[in-house]
Chains A and B, each alone.
Chain A
């Protein structure tokens, strides 16, 4: 299937005016996956960044066209693997919307709690990975200490630690683990005590601040024009939290703030994510004692068939707005499905904001965009 890759033998040709073209990726420690950036450098200064995608392209959209409405959800866990619960929720919500399935309250609340736990886990991993991009190894382990508790909760509840596949159209696949509430409470306790540790280690660090402040500045106009969403856009002062704009599940009955920063630089993006974790804790605290009793899954037909028409569902993943667009012809499988992944739009802004900065700044910028490559390639 593959073309023979041509090896460039002529190494004397360095391009015009001493430009240096460096391939960052697909195997590179800072791209966290198989992102391939062709970076044109002039000395240490970046002149152009060209992303080459597709190293983990599995054509999920095409695959979904031959999977039923029960099956296609499991594929989406493999897109943004750090927000797999939220991806599943998006698909489940869409099917529920298309078939007018009534979801029990219990399922709604549990889904919201799990979504927020996923968001915290994702941001924790991001803090560690981003600090590592900037050369600090230690925060990684501190962040993983708390993330480990979440993955343990997920393992108890869903049987999986990364690709959960727990949320199905109509509710949940099975009921929550009996220890769920105690464990989540223990986690909240631990998180509140320990979150300051790595905040001290990272936020207040003068080197960290000088590496991120004023680096990779994304203006409000650009954030909107490039279709950025999630913490990236919110750090540039765009209100775009789907949990506020179009509340789903139990988000309409919880109080939380949409974190907005205006600086638009890497540090603002960092701050937004850290504050978001605290808001997620706040949401979980409001819900964890109020999980209603009752069914965990609503009544659904054995064979799911969406009515003829078009459906669109937006949810807020840890990276931004995930849109699922389904064109249905009334069959058991979608006619066309499109995943509008947040990472894809967020990546498109990289060249714009990292141009003219140093290689070191590229790491800060790319790190704070929080790119998950399977999410971009799909």
Chain B
């Protein structure tokens, strides 16, 4: 059967047969980089179009429908426009940091792709501290945003960046605790182990109510972490015009925009991996025949299906809710989500120790 796993295996075998191992590794790296950048470009185009279509559907209108059939080339046309636009740097901005910031944000998003398992045995780097790696790298994106806000020398940008800083640092905690519940249940930080542990059912179903709570907390926290509505205070266009990226234009703005969508994809991919079994098909206990039928659906489709479902949920939030106020946002985290997360982690630990999960 033609699967992503077999393609990688064949390629690797061929490379190893033709070249010596060091060169083979170098070529593999190049292939991975090219694939990653391609994935970024495609994801950006697809997610922006998806967002616009979802928004249009929710808002009883059609959405983009002129460029190409059903408007599918709309985002490509937009990208072309953004590439051709002049990238302005304000006179009074700190030019080095101003130009660096979008790349920092983008780079963080790229680094996060490494440990994600897209399909069975299709992973860039199955690092043994996968979850920890994700948690630590994802909190770096705040540096890029603060950099952008500070270097723009614009009061709106600064306010937006400060809000974003407070927000990401706070919600990092809840997201971290939600991730920890799965680590506690699995007993491993490695992504492949976590997925393998869901062989006989996803954690969302196996782990009783505490895991469901953790899942909800995770979705809320990552929505806040990616600065999406109802937590889009860093941008808050009715308050701060465009928040931290007010002064950006052209491709530098596009990088922020792209990074936002890549970040959504990544957090949803991680959510799908931890709670919904990643590429693992829907298996129910010992129903062998059912599990067998499910295995016929390729693992990459399972992974993408779950991820896009979560992305849809996050988009759904955006087009339904008003924005929170900054103090309400922090109240929600420190007074409600954090205590619940802590208690929930305790509960999950008890469940894990006693072996009460399925």
Indicate if A touches B (C-beta under 8 A): yes
Q: Are the C-beta atoms of B230 and A201 separated by less than 8 Å?
A: no
What 1/0 flags go to A177-206 for Cβ under 8 Å of B? 000000000000000000000000100010
Question: B153 on the interface (CB 8 Å rule)?
Answer: yes
User: Among the listed stretches B33-41, B182-190, B315-323, which one makes contact with chain A, having 4 or more residues with CB under 8 Å of it?
Assistant: B315-323
The reply to whether the CB of B22 lies closer than 8 angstroms to some CB of chain A is: no
A133 to B323, CA, bound (A): 9
Residues 142-157 of B, flagged 1 when their CB comes within 8 A of A and 0 if not, give 0000000000010110
| Given known A-B contacts A29-B241, A30-B239, A135 and B326 have beta carbons under 8 A apart | no
Asked whether A208 and B322 contact (CB < 8 A) given A22-B156, A135-B232, the answer is yes
Contact B155 A360 (CB under 8 A): no
Query: B353: which A residues are within 8 A, CB to CB?
Result: none
Contact A363 B156 (CB under 8 A): no
In Å, the complex CA distance between A41 and B326 comes to 14
**Minimal beta-carbon separation of B86 from chain A (angstroms):** 20
Residues of the A chain whose Cβ atoms lie less than 8 Å from the Cβ of B92 = 11
- Interface members, chain B 107-151 (any A CB < 8 Å): none
Name B44-90 residues within 8 Å CB distance of A.
Answer: 55, 58-61
Is there a chain A Cβ closer than 8 Å to B194's Cβ?
no
**Contacting pair A142 B60 (CB below 8 A):** yes
Q: How far is the CA of A210 from the CA of B328 in the complex (A)?
A: 8
Contact of A28 among B55, B60, B241 (CB under 8 A): B241
Question: Of residues 191 to 247 in B, which have CB atoms within 8 Å of A's CB atoms?
Answer: 229-230, 232-233, 236-241
The reply on A243 being an interface residue by CB < 8 A is no
B residues near A138, Cβ cutoff 8 Å: 58-59, 319-320
Please tell me if A307 contacts chain B, counting CB pairs below 8 Å.
no
Indicate the member of B159, B238, B319, B322 with the most A CB atoms within 10 Å. Answer: B322
**Chain B residues within 8 Å of A132, by CB:** 238
Nearest-neighbour CB distance to chain A for B295, whole angstroms, equals 40
Is A1 positioned at the interface, with any CB of B under 8 Å from its CB? Answer: no
Cβ-defined contact, A363 with B238, below 8 A: yes
Cβ of B357 under 8 Å from chain A = no
Q: A141-B60, A359-B159 are contacts. A211–B324 as well, Cβ < 8 Å?
A: yes
Does B327 sit within 8 A of A, measured CB to CB? yes
Determine the chain B residues whose CB is within 8 A of the CB of A362 once the complex forms: 239
CA distance A140 to B58 in the complex (A): 12
Q: Is B325 part of the contact surface with A, judged by Cβ < 8 Å?
A: yes
Please report the C-alpha to C-alpha distance between residue A22 and residue B246 in the assembled complex, in whole angstroms: 14
A198 to chain B minimum Cβ distance, whole angstroms, is 11
Given contacts A135-B229, A141-B61, A358-B325, contact A201 B320 (CB under 8 A): yes
Write the nearest CB–CB distance from B110 to chain A, whole angstroms: 29
Q: How far is the CB of B236 from chain A (nearest CB, A)?
A: 7
- Considering the chains assembled together, what is the distance between the CA atoms of A211 and B233 in angstroms? 13
Cα A11 to Cα B94 with chains together (Å):
13
- CB A139 to nearest CB in B, in angstroms, measures 9
Q: List A contacts of B238 (CB < 8 A).
A: 29-30, 132-135, 363
Tell me whether B241 and A135 are in contact (CB under 8 A).
no
* Residues 232-266 of B at the A interface (beta carbon under 8 Å): 232-233, 236-241
Q: Are A136 and B320 closer than 8 Å at their CB atoms?
A: yes
Contact between chains at B322 and A29 (CB < 8 Å): no
B263 shortest CB reach to chain A, Å: 19
Cα distance, A135 to B238, chains bound together (Å): 7
The reply on A174 being an interface residue by CB < 8 A is: no
Provide the residues of chain B in CB contact with A208, threshold 8 Å. Answer: 322
Does B239 contact A363, Cβ atoms closer than 8 Å?
yes
Closest partner residue, chain A, to B229 (CB atom) = A135
- 8 Å CB contact of B159 from A28, A44, A142: A44
Residues of chain A within 8 A of B325, CB atoms compared: 210-211, 358, 360-361
Given contacts A44-B159, A210-B328, contact A135 B323 (CB under 8 A): yes
Residues of B within 8 A of A44 (CB): 159, 163, 326-327
Q: Is the CB of A145 within 8 A of B60?
A: yes
Question: What chain A residues lie within 8 Å of B233 (beta carbons)?
Answer: 360
Pick the most buried of A11, A20, A207, A210: most chain B CB atoms within 10 A of its CB: A207
Known contacts A132-B238, A135-B321, A363-B238, then 11 further A-B pairs from the complex at CB < 8 Å, ordered by chain A residue: A134-B238, A135-B323, A136-B323, A137-B59, A138-B59, A138-B319, A138-B320, A140-B59, A141-B59, A211-B328, A360-B323
Mark B residues whose CB is within 8 Å of A: 55, 58-61, 92, 153, 155-156, 159, 163, 229-230, 232-233, 236-241, 319-328
Can you spell out 23 A-B residue pairs with CB atoms less than 8 angstroms apart? A11-B153, A20-B159, A22-B156, A30-B238, A44-B159, A132-B238, A133-B238, A134-B238, A135-B236, A135-B322, A135-B323, A137-B319, A142-B60, A145-B60, A205-B322, A207-B321, A211-B322, A211-B325, A211-B328, A358-B327, A359-B159, A359-B239, A360-B326
